[in-house]
């Protein structure tokens, strides 16, 4: 089994020489060799990965080893890595090679991690299924008939397929958490400003955060702790100490958002949600119903912000500096967003849509701040429905509605994470379902406590 161990234990094993970095890479490469054609997860494999593993093995005797010693990383295709193709899963940037390393990449390398390659995602991080990738959808080994979730589809699928220890994804409105739920793993959206976005191709610069996707919660906490922190390359990154993410044995007050109760479309998800609330109570935690102002408008506020900021971000894709001309090469969803953003940015609207959206963002954010005076963290489902079948058609509105439970945390800038809680049976299929824990800005310590507790209730 290649990635069964918790990553903290795995690094310790590699540092002790019980597992070589070379063997770790070789095991994952064997999985890639066996299944990548079928699953369409890696868009590019880093040809230097094995060489780097050998160098790290040679370095072991020096004893001066980084925190990620030997760990194998897969990166979403919107993070810059020098020399690798950073296509954003778009024809626009099909041949674009990274000319520098994103801050998160520098951290991985500094801490002796290994970059195995670049994985698939929805084009320009826009979607909920991975199906908007210009290079075809990828497959979720844990529910092969269903979409793996999006937009960080490959970052979820690569963990489900046991092809890497860790994946990094970007989350603008749910993109790390939605695939984590569908793939039966853990995915984190840190507080806005927690992780440097330098080297990330923005979908929406005021909402994006980079976060880890891993098999279990403690591994995700371990990775986040190291990639977090201030960088002079990213003005909004925050110089704030990361609290300890160690598991504690405390009792918490857990918020439940009243407005969400009627928004869960799938009856079995609803049942599971009720069941978990009861289990949490029986463990001695207090469940408290709260209300968040304007939360029912979150999706309506989220998309205009994304549209406008994405439009502005795409202006550099002019075929002179980068890739092909955006308008000529981008897919339908990316075009819809950029053109929509252009339309609502027109001077005749005087920023009406954008300003209104920002107002709702502020109201939601203030309301969360108040709520976190009463509760330690908040429990919600990730998706109102089960992942749809691959290729099944869906209206734009229905697709956007999938973000109802995830995009509010991006609007508020708070942290949120998803952990797998159970599987739901549909005919012969067993489909993973994850729930979400949201905590206040820079209270990842509390968020992880919530995720640990949910994880302890997995399949129970």
Instruction: Quote the tokens at residue 444.
Output: 């990842």
The number of residues that bind ligand GLN (CB under 6 A) is 14
Among 32, 203, 317, 360, binds ligand GLN (CB under 6 A): 203
Which x/- pattern, by CB under 6 A, does the window 368-407 give for ligand GLN? -----------------------------------x----
440: helix, strand or coil: coil
**What is the rounded distance in angstroms from the CA atom of residue 351 to the CA atom of residue 32?**
47
218 is catalytic: no
Q: Is 420 in the site for ligand GLN (CB under 6 A)?
A: no
151 is catalytic: yes
Which x/- pattern, by CB under 6 A, does the window 4-23 give for ligand GLN? --------------------
175 is catalytic: yes
Residue (of 204, 206, 209) closest to 224 by Cα position: 209
Among 128, 185, 301, 330, binds ligand GLN (CB under 6 A): 128
Closer CB to ligand GLN, 379 or 407, in the complex: 407
Instruction: Quote the tokens at residue 243.
Output: 């609290």
What's the burial of 17, exposed, middle or buried (CB within 10 Å: 0-12/13-18/19+)? exposed
Among all chains, which residue has been given the structure tokens 């994946």? Answer: 167
Among 306, 329, 404, 414, binds ligand GLN (CB under 6 A): 306
Q: Specify the stretch interacting with ligand GLN by CB under 6 A; choose among 51-59, 87-95, 166-174, 269-277.
A: 166-174
* Helix residue spans in 200-329 (DSSP H): 217-227, 267-282, 298-314, 326-329
Which x/- pattern, by CB under 6 A, does the window 31-70 give for ligand GLN? ----------------------------------------
Q: How many CB atoms lie within 10 A of CB 282?
A: 9
C-beta separation of 394 from 388 below 8 A: yes
Q: Specify the stretch interacting with ligand GLN by CB under 6 A; choose among 107-115, 170-178, 413-421, 451-459.
A: 170-178
Alpha carbons within 13 angstroms on the beta-carbon side of residue 48 total 11
C-beta separation of 155 from 168 below 8 A: yes
DSSP string for 95-107 = TPBBSS--HHHHH
The one catalytic residue among 77, 87, 126, 151 = 151
Among 172, 181, 196, 436, binds ligand GLN (CB under 6 A): 172
Q: Specify the stretch interacting with ligand GLN by CB under 6 A; choose among 122-130, 249-257, 420-428, 443-451.
A: 122-130
C-beta separation of 212 from 7 below 8 A: no
Which residue is closest to ligand GLN by CB? Answer: 175
C-beta separation of 317 from 325 below 8 A: yes
Q: Is 218 in the site for ligand GLN (CB under 6 A)?
A: no
Q: Is 125 in the site for ligand GLN (CB under 6 A)?
A: yes
Helices (H) and strands (E) in the chain, counts: 15, 11
Where do contacts with ligand GLN occur on this chain (CB under 6 A)? 125-128, 151, 170-175, 203, 306, 403
Active-site annotation, residues? 76, 151, 175
């Amino acid at each position: 089994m290649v990635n069964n161990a918790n990553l903290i234990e795995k690094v310790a094993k590699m540092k002790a020489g019980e597992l070589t970095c070379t063997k770790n890479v070789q095991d994952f490469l064997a999985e890639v060799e066996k299944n990548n054609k079928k699953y369409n997860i890696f868009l590019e494999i880093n040809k230097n990965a094995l060489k780097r593993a050998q160098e790290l093995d040679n370095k072991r005797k020096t004893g001066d080893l980084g925190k990620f010693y030997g760990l194998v990383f897969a990166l979403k295709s919107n993070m810059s890595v020098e020399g690798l193709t950073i296509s954003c899963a778009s024809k626009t940037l099909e041949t674009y090679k990274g000319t520098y390393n994103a801050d998160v990449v520098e951290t991985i390398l500094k801490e002796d991690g290994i970059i195995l390659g670049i994985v698939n995602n929805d084009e320009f991080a826009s979607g909920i299924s991975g199906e908007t990738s210009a290079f075809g959808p990828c497959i979720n080994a844990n529910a092969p008939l269903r979409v793996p979730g999006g937009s960080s589809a490959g970052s979820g699928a690569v963990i489900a397929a046991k092809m890497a220890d860790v994946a990094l994804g970007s989350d603008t409105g749910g993109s790390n958490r939605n695939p984590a739920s569908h793939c039966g793993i853990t995915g984190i959206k840190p507080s806005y400003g927690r992780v440097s976005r330098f080297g990330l191709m923005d979908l929406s610069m005021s909402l994006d955060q980079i976060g880890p996707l891993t098999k279990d919660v403690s591994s995700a906490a371990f990775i986040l702790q190291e990639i977090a922190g201030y960088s002079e390359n990213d003005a909004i990154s925050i110089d704030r100490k990361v609290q300890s993410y160690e598991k504690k044995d405390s009792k918490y007050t857990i918020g439940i958002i009243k407005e969400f109760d009627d928004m869960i479309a799938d009856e079995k998800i609803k049942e599971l949600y009720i069941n978990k609330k009861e289990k949490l109570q029986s463990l001695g935690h207090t469940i408290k119903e709260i209300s968040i102002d304007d939360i029912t408008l979150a999706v309506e506020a989220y998309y205009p912000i994304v549209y406008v900021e994405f439009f502005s971000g795409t202006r550099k894709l002019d075929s002179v500096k980068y890739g092909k001309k955006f308008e000529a090469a981008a897919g339908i969803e990316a075009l819809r967003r950029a053109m929509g953003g252009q339309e609502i940015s027109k001077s005749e609207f005087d920023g009406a849509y954008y300003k209104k959206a920002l107002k709702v963002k502020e109201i939601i954010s203030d309301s969360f701040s108040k709520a976190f005076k009463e509760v330690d963290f908040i429990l919600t489902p990730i998706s109102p429905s089960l992942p749809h079948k691959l290729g099944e058609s869906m209206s734009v509105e229905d697709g956007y509605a999938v973000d109802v439970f995830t995009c509010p945390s991006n609007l508020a800038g708070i942290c949120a994470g998803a952990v797998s809680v159970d599987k739901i049976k549909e005919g012969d299929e067993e489909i993973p379902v994850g729930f979400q824990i949201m905590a206040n800005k820079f209270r990842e310590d509390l968020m992880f406590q919530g995720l640990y507790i949910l994880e302890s209730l997995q399949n129970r």
